[in-house]
Amino acid sequence: MDIYLPIAEISVNMAMLLGIGFAVGLLSGMFGVGGGFLVTPLLIFVGVPSAVAVATGGNQVVASSVSGAMAHWRRKSIDFNLGLMLLLGGIAGSAVGVWLFKMLRESGHLDVVVGLSYTAFLGVVGVLMLGESIRAIRRSRRGVLPAFRRPGQHNWIHGLPGKMRFKRSRLYISMIPVLVVGALGGLLAALMGIGGGFIMVPAMIYLLRVPTNVVVGTSLFQIIFVTAITTILHAATNGTVDIVLAFILMVGSVIGAQFGAQAGQRLKAEQMRALLALLVLVVCLRIMFQLGVRPDDLYTISVIGT
């Protein structure tokens, strides 16, 4: 059964949209990711315009992030002070991202920029994740434990001015890198329709040295508000948030997440990361192919303004 999407201005098979939501929810439950980095390309593949796919995809990230953040809140594994600083940077980054989004859309370059951004982002992340997963699997087979950095070791980040103390994370670091990491997450949320967790979590661990037991919860706490604010800004500034599409994706995602959580318990951590990396690379190659293929209509006549 086809359903008409009023903002996207197209009719799409409802079962297909539920399937996309289910698949993204399944991945979210299996791998602990929001799925925004996959839902936007999948929507574009089925014909949803890039502007609507980016702006609407963030709703699914909000839904999955709220559920995850509540679980971490009950375990007291959220550093709210650190999360608020990340949120301040994220709001600034999302505001800049929405403005760039509007400029690119009006200039007609949005589709190309989104496609190239996803190709670069997913390509780099997929290759790094696959390489790390392969090394982890080899170490596991040889019985070699990974080497960890000793507590107390610092990098150049800790020499920056404007330091603050974050008790939950047991950190005393500068506000500057925290705000920059948050701003980068907000920028990605606005331009690419993703939560930014794929960038923020590694940055928090390897740059800010945030303990791993509070990284995920703190990241999810920030993502909830940044993606929600980004969605509101997109709706008010660009009018590209399709509520009907968002609702269908959320329904499929909630169902898929339950099955994904059960499936994820049967796989080893390094095997799960390897599977996710391969999936990311497949999507990256699909986007590259879509960018390079010759379009059916080389020229389109349409009204772009008054």
**pLDDT recorded at residue 88:** 92
- CA–CA dist 40, 121 (Å, integer): 13
When mean pLDDT is compared across 85-99, 106-120, 264-278, the lowest value belongs to 264-278
DSSP H or E segment with residue 166: strand 163-166
**pLDDT recorded at residue 306:** 45
* Full residue range of the structural domain in which residue 196 is found: 2-141+158-292
Residues 242-259 have pLDDT tens digits of 888 888 888 887 787 677
Burial of residue 132 (CB within 10 Å: 0-12, 13-18, 19+) is middle
Q: Does residue 275 fall inside a structural domain?
A: yes
Residues 133-191 have pLDDT tens digits of 788 778 777 776 555 454 444 556 666 777 888 888 888 888 888 898 888 888 877 87
Q: Does residue 33 fall inside a structural domain?
A: yes
Number of domains in the chain: 1
Q: Does residue 250 fall inside a structural domain?
A: yes
Q: Does residue 77 fall inside a structural domain?
A: yes
- Give me the residues paired with residue 164 across strands: 173
Asked if the model's pLDDT at residue 296 lies above 60, the reply is: no
**pLDDT recorded at residue 272:** 63
Q: Does residue 16 fall inside a structural domain?
A: yes
Q: Does residue 223 fall inside a structural domain?
A: yes
Residues 273-286 have pLDDT tens digits of 677 677 778 777 87
**pLDDT recorded at residue 120:** 81
Confidence band of 47 (pLDDT split at 50, 70, 90): confident
Tokens 């790390």 map to which residue?
Answer: 132
CB 58 within 8 A of CB 227: yes
Q: Does residue 181 fall inside a structural domain?
A: yes
Helices and strands in the chain, H and E counts: 10, 4
Asked if the model's pLDDT at residue 304 lies above 80, the reply is: no
pTM of the model: 0.70
Mean pLDDT taken over the chain: 76
CB 21 within 8 A of CB 61: no
**pLDDT recorded at residue 151:** 41
Q: Does residue 153 fall inside a structural domain?
A: no
